[in-house]
Amino acid sequence: MTTLLIYDGAIADDASERRTGGVPLVPDGFSWPLCGECGGAMQFLAHLPGEERVVSVFMCQNDPGLCEEWSPTGGGNRAYLFPRDGLAPAAVPPEGETSLGAVSALRTESVEEQDYFDATRAWVAAGREDESPVLGALGGEPYWIQNDETPNCPSCSRRMDFAALLEEGRDHNTSANFGGGGCGYAFTCAPCSEAAFLWQC
């Protein structure tokens, strides 16, 4: 089975449900991440709550392609693993490319195909892509466009667990910039409360 993330319409900027775009929900004391290369505020991409924790994904878009936003260690992106309780909307920096052009709700739907590529092909073949585009997947195995780049946890050095795959988006307003047709990959290490992000195209 593959758990697809399906576009489910517009949603509030600070909704607690799964979504791309909007405002991140964060714990007290959170500081908006700055790009390790250009120093600018990063763009918030996704809010992905699980049963107990939330994966929150950011990526630099101040000078697209000039900062290493595709690498899990290059300084151009940042992912967090927050406890699900006690989160509140973050204060958004006044400068920088900090948000996507629209907020998209994500619902989940499990399909029989094990492979993400096969699952999305079946979704399109069934005629469901026109009204409900696939915007990614939760858990399972990552569908690598290039080679396996699973990162190691920066705290314990253990190979991290795959959390989610993100497609660029359904239109120009909602799209993340993964190089044009690429995919983003979020990983976590639950014991260390660490998360990582990268993308390929």
pLDDT digits 0-9 by tens, 119-160: 999 999 988 988 889 999 999 999 999 999 999 999 999 999
pLDDT tens-digit series, residues 84-118: 999 999 999 999 999 999 999 999 999 999 899 99
CA distance linking residue 21 with residue 11, whole number of Å = 10
Average of per-residue pLDDT values in the chain: 95
Span between the terminal Cα atoms of the chain, in Å: 25
For residue 65, pLDDT beyond 80: no
- Torsion over CA: 5, 139, 167, 37 (sign): positive
For residue 29, pLDDT beyond 90: yes
Q: Which of 81, 168, 167 is nearest to 120 (CA)?
A: 167
Among all chains, which residue has been given the structure tokens 């630099």?
60
CA distance linking residue 118 with residue 179, whole number of Å = 22
